[in-house]
Amino acid sequence: MFETGRRYAFHAHRYGQDVASNRLRMFAPLAALRRRGLDVELFDPARGARGYDAIVFSRGFSPAAVHIARAARADNRRIIVDVCDNMFALAGRAGFRGCCNRLREMMALADVVTAPTAMMAAQLEAHGPGAAFRVIPDALETIDPCPVTTRAHGAVAGLEQFLGRHSGALHCVWYGSSVPGMSGFAHLDGAVRELESFGRRHPVTLTVISDTRLRYWLARRHWRIPSVYLPFGNDSFGPALARHHVAVIPVGRNGYTSGKSINRAATAVMAGLGVVADPLPSYEELRPWIVLGDWQAGLAHYADCLPATDPALPQARRHLEARYGADAVAGQWEAVLDVRLQ
């Protein structure tokens, strides 16, 4: 399908596997595209923009990224700008103005701007009216339930001790990062109030998996349910999820969160957990199999029918695998890399 000798790259500000968008929108598609026979790699500064037929610029639009994109445009290379968060919703905050200005320039240079949801694409279009937009969903993340390092074994063992002290409880987990006042911990207290209310009828615990220990300690002083904190780690995340029954996903609707992708709910389902979440547009397709909005009914459902025995979850997994498996999503990336496939 592609000419021999065509080469493609993904560029990012940093390439850590601890960043979810890197895993779902760079590493997973890159691996799947290679399986399809494409010559694609992480951007090599030694090759420079001229060394590639197309470059995908992922998250973190640094001055260096803008410089490379300008060079790519001057050399008539194809430019795809992939945006995983609506950074324009944060434009009024200290430190974000420069990022938003660079993103506007990147969008102006791009042949295509990609986003994980139609809602986010519409939000971005207001700031780049001349750009061509394409929705490409996050690739599905599969979770390994087995610890693979000594450090992960230690973290999971401590979690198991906590959960063991509360046997018979409905074990809930919240995970993710936060933007103060906009997402994450900003909305977690609302979920805790729901868990506290449910806890008057049935024992419940909450595990917080994040990289913001201080915010957890400040918040938990006001909580009236047993809770534990686990720092996020690639090796411990999957095994930790597997020790729980339900992922709780509180989301306050605002310009930053309303265009978010399905990935948090999808990750929980693929790990074998039930999901109780606030509604988002991207979650609606999972409504037949997870609980959106009615927290008390959802928690009661999973207390009566643990996810391991819930027939809805295998159906949800099949739906997700068909739509968001890495190979399915790779075809959409392949189409934006080469103009002849448009």
pLDDT in tens, 40-50: 999 999 999 99
pLDDT score of 177: 82
Which CATH number covers residue 267? Answer: 3.40.50.2000
Same domain, 313 and 284: yes
- Total structural domains within the chain: 2
Same domain, 154 and 97: no
Same domain, 274 and 215: yes
Residue 21 within a domain: yes
Residue 127 within a domain: yes
Residue 145 within a domain: no
Same domain, 155 and 304: yes
Same domain, 63 and 73: yes
Same domain, 301 and 156: yes
Three-state secondary-structure class, residue 127: coil
Tally helices (H) and strands (E) across the chain: 13, 12
Same domain, 131 and 32: yes
- Where b means 16+ CB within 10 Å and e means fewer, 138-159 reads bbbbebeeebeeeebeebbeeb
Q: φ, ψ for residue 44 (rounded to 5)?
A: -105, 110
Residues of the chain short of pLDDT 70, as ranges, are 1-4, 147-148, 180, 339-342
pLDDT score of 304: 96
Q: Locate 1 and state its tokens.
A: 């399908």
Residue 144 within a domain: no
pLDDT score of 2: 47
Model-level pTM? 0.91
Same domain, 131 and 187: no
Same domain, 188 and 316: yes
Same domain, 203 and 274: yes
Contact 257, 129 (CB under 8 A): no
Residue 106 within a domain: yes
pLDDT in tens, 216-275: 998 899 999 999 999 998 889 999 999 999 999 999 888 889 999 999 999 999 999 999
Domain that holds residue 227: 150-323
Same domain, 227 and 276: yes
pLDDT in tens, 141-162: 887 777 667 778 888 999 999 9
pLDDT score of 144: 73
Same domain, 14 and 124: yes
pLDDT score of 1: 46
User: Beta-carbon neighbour count of residue 126 at 10 Å?
Assistant: 9
Contacts of 167 by beta carbon, 8 Å cutoff, 6+ apart: none
pLDDT score of 340: 52
Helix (H) or strand (E) holding 39: strand 39-42
